Structures are given as structure tokens and as C-alpha cells.
Structure 1
Amino acid sequence: MKTTAALPPSSPPAAAGVGALLREWRDRRRISQLELALRADSSARHISFIETGRSRPSQEMVLRLAEHLDVPVRERNALLIAAGYAPTYPETPLDDPSMEALRSGIQRLLTGYEPFPALVVDGTYNVQAANRGITALLEGVDESLLQPPLNAMRITMHPGGLAPRIRNYLEWRGHLLDQMERQLALLRSAPLRTLYEEVSGYPLPEGGRESAAAGDHAPFALPMLLEHHGTVLSFISTITTFNTPMDVTVSELAVETLLPADPETAAHLRTLTQL
């Protein structure tokens, strides 16, 4: 068991910032000090000292606690900085030469999903890559929304985007906003907050959209019902992230796939992409 001695009373509190942040994460995860101590091979007393600023955690301890609290990678760097250490996880631009293998792998993955639509977004839903299935669905979207950087939330919820063609728009909009709210509860991301405030303020498409009847739903998940060339397509969305990422950029990438919820949608997609 590894512990750090408390500072003498005359010394200023050590790393009080990181202690408060760790306590906040522990409260979010609804884990007691004792439970966290057992998971991290420490003691409840030491955890208490860290949280109150009476003890400065080592870099190893900060990372160990962050792992057991399932803290996002970007926020782990924030914990390290608050404790007086340098960030451990780099944030490498996706277009950096060192990311070539990752970019190639992502593109092969997206191509493999065709004719089904699939795309990769970053932590603020900017589209980093997409396949032909996505391109086919964007016909008719306002050109201003298709200028880089493309943003999946804007394209979906903007009145000039896909919103007017989503048959169950009210439900789908609610699902997307809930998803963003869950992320905001975990990340101190000003850009994501700004995006949320923007898209949540969009007016409903002209005439609005009624929610689809419950009987129209796939039994296992909420579908997105999208009108395309007079045909209503039904999609189930799946999201995949990278396991054990060691880079902030990679940790925030997500692959979203729109799988057909019925045979008619699958057949329509094959026709669109001529596969």
C-alpha cells in the first residue's frame, strides 16, 4: 500500500484543486471513499486527505484514481495539472503524419460498412470521415451546412439540414440533446456547451413533426425515420469508441453507424450506392 504523509498544519493545503475534482468525480460515480480506496489499493483515510488537500497525491495515484473513477482522458490531464504534474496524454491532430495508420484504419472500417451510412465524429461532433452511404443521404441539405467543418448535430437538427425529412423529429431531437447533456455532465467542454446551446435553439422545421406512434418503433431501440426520395428509411444508430485510448484526440472519436431497421431500407441503400 502506497501512502503520502499529510503536510504539517503550518503548510498550505497541497493540491486542494485536484482533491476537489477527485471528490466531484467520486460523487458522480456514487462511490464511497472506502470503496474507492479498496479499488485503488489505498486507504479511506488517504483518500480523505487527498480530497481535503491535506495530502498531495503522487502522479501515479492521480492516474490510478482516475482509472477507477472512469474519468475521460481529457479530464485525466486536467486532474494531473491540478495536482501540479504535466499532462500524460497527448492531443495529436488527426491529420498529423503519426496518425496515418489510424486514418487508414478508420477509412477501411467506414468503407466496410457500405452501403450502410457510417461516419466518424470528434468530441464536438465535427465529421472527420464518412462513407458513401452518408453522402447519399445528404442530398438536398443546405450548402452552408456542408462547408468544412461539417458538424453532425447541425446537419441533423438545422431546419436547412435533415430535420424537415425526419419523420419522428421530436423524438430524435430529444434523443440527440439527451446524448449531448450526458457528455456535458462529464466534460468541461466550452465548445460542446456552445454547440448544445446553438442546436437546442433551432426552430422546429416548418409545420413541425409529430412523434411516431409507439407501434412504429423497432422493438429494441428508437429508430430515425428519414424520408429520402419519397421513401421512408428506418435506421438504428450504433456508436463505437476506441478501447483504452492513450491520446485525447483518439479518446473522443466515435464511429456512428446507421443500420437499416427493415429490409426495405437495406434494399434502398444498396440501390443508392450501386453495390
Structure 2
Amino acid sequence: MTKAAPPQVGQLLREWRQRRRLSQLELSLRAQISSRHLSFVETGRSQPSSAMVLRLAEELDVPLRMRNQLLLAAGHAPVYTESSLDSPRMEAVRTAVRQVLEGHEPYPAAVVDRAWNIVDSNASIALFTDKVAPELLTPPANALRVTLHPDGLAPHIRNLGQWRAHLLGRLRRQIDASLDPVLSELHDELVAYPCHEREPEVEFPGPADIIVPLRLRHDGGELAFFSTVATFGTPLEVTTAELAIESFFPSDAATTAALANPTPLP
């Protein structure tokens, strides 16, 4: 059986352009090259320089990891390094992340990588993980799996259908933006988990809602949160570019008061 040839850089660039819904003319104007030159690159009649690959990738908002793949496909060396978060050169990044996590106490916060694996968290994240099966928390614990698995947080989420639809929608948008096969596999796993609540096709607010809330059963009542996501603004390294800090805030006065004296989930 003949092994399929790896895709050429022109083919990959065309796929990214089509995914971004740009014509050749629109992309060539943005990249300040002729549409004829771009056509030659996409069809393989012209081999782009590394500078040209990076210019087109910038205009197409291609993630750094995928920019390295484009460079390799064009016969050039990758330019964006990828380092373990615990490596010495990442000390400044680790320090910044720790400051954000600790400064967010007493509210939960966690840092995830591109595949939603939890790489760090603050002490208050225990509010979410106390009732999760231990095997789901074995590193690398995946935040989406921990949340939606039937042995995870899912049984404690009062609006599971709504929150599940929200998370899967975020994941689909991430897949659409990155074309990452790892995320596609994760999505296929998550949608197979059981959910006995209706999942809305479109997110719409309930009474007084301004943000999709996470509603948790707690001590005979409920805790309600909304979340924000922070990323590094000017990353030039793959690991840093793919980190996201998700911080949860109380969405009502009762949750704020409860977190002043936290108790485990029942």
C-alpha cells in the first residue's frame, strides 16, 4: 500500500485561506503581494520563502504550532520554540501565572494548555474537584473531561445541558480556528458522554442572566459562577501561546457570601 504524500505548503495555505473565508485577492492585498504570486504559491508553481510563509500565516491568524508545520512543509526550519512549562527559560511565565492564580483566591482558577489539560490551579479549584473521581484527576487531568464526565463534575451541575452546550461550542470554535486533530478527538469523546438534559442549540439568557452561568449544587442550595479567559498578549513561543487562564467569579451575592466561608460540595 502506497503511503500518501504529505501535503504541500501551497495546499495547506489554501486550506487555511478557505477556512478564513478569504479570496486570493483579499489575502494578497492583506499580505501586500500579487494575487498571481499567491496563486503560484497555492498551486505549487512557486516555492515561498520562510518570510513569505510567515507573512501569509500572520494574515491568516494561524496558531504558532501550525506556523511551524507550514514552514516544514515549505522546506524551512521552524522558528517558534516549544518549551516545557517547568523549564528554566519559562520562569517568568510561571511566575506570572502563579501571581494570577493566587491573586484570584478565594475564587477558583486554573491554567490549561491547548488540549485543555490542567497545568496549574489555585487552592480554590478544590470546590470543583472534591467530588470528581480520582482517576479523572490523574495528571494530565483534562478540564473538559473532568467537567462533563459522568464521574466528574457533571452530576453536580444544575444546568448541565446549558453548560455542556456552552463548553462544546467553545471547543468547536477552537477546532475551527486551529484545525487541531487533538481537539477533534477530544470533542468526539465528550459528545459521547451521557446528558439527560436538553442542550440548547443557541445560547439564550434566562431571567437576569447576562453571561452563561455555571450552577453547582452546594450544601442544599446553589453556587453560581461566570468565567473569564486570559491569554498572553504577545507570545513568541508555542507553549506560552497555547496557555489559557480560566478564572471563575461569583455571579450572585449568595455565592460571594458562601465563598467567604467555603465548604465542600455535598
Aligned residue pairs, count: 256
**Separation in 2 of the partners of 1:245 and 1:215?**
34
Q: Report deviation, 1:194.
A: 2.6
Aligned to 2:3: none
Does the C-alpha gap of structure 1 residues 84 and 215 become closer, same or farther in structure 2, counting only changes over 3 Å?
A: closer
Aligned to 1:9: none
Moved more, 50-59 or 34-43: 34-43
The alignment-based identity, stated in percent, is 50
Deviations 1:103-150 (A, max 9, x none): 111011111111111110001111011112212332222111122222
Does the C-alpha gap of structure 1 residues 114 and 38 become closer, same or farther in structure 2, counting only changes over 3 Å?
A: same
Aligned to 1:226: 216
Aligned to 2:26: 35
- TM-score normalised over the length of structure 1: 0.86
Cα pair 2:41 2:48 within 8 Å, conserved? yes
1:121 pairs with 2:112: yes
Cα pair 1:116 1:266 within 8 Å, conserved? no
**For structure 1, which runs of at least 5 residues remain unmatched after alignment?**
1-14
**Separation in 2 of the partners of 1:16 and 1:157?**
35
Secondary structure of 1:185's match? helix
Q: Specify the code of the residue in structure 1 equivalent to 2:236.
A: M
**For structure 2, which runs of at least 5 residues remain unmatched after alignment?**
1-5
Aligned to 1:3: none
1:161 pairs with 2:159: no
Compute the RMSD of aligned alpha carbons.
2.1
Aligned to 2:246: 256
- TM-score normalised over the length of structure 2: 0.89
Does the C-alpha gap of structure 1 residues 109 and 217 become closer, same or farther in structure 2, counting only changes over 3 Å?
A: farther
Aligned to 1:200: 191
Q: Specify the code of the residue in structure 2 equivalent to 1:168.
A: N
Secondary structure of 1:237's match? strand
Q: Specify the code of the residue in structure 1 equivalent to 2:182.
A: P
Cα pair 1:167 1:211 within 8 Å, conserved? no
Secondary structure of 2:178's match? coil
Secondary structure of 1:175's match? helix
1:105 pairs with 2:77: no
**Separation in 2 of the partners of 1:215 and 1:45?**
48
Q: Specify the code of the residue in structure 1 equivalent to 2:231.
A: T
**Separation in 1 of the partners of 2:42 and 2:227?**
40
Cα pair 2:213 2:226 within 8 Å, conserved? yes
Aligned to 2:176: 185
**Separation in 2 of the partners of 1:80 and 1:180?**
26
Cα pair 1:168 1:211 within 8 Å, conserved? no
Q: Specify the code of the residue in structure 1 equivalent to 2:34.
A: S
**Separation in 2 of the partners of 1:126 and 1:186?**
18
Q: Report deviation, 1:218.
A: 4.8
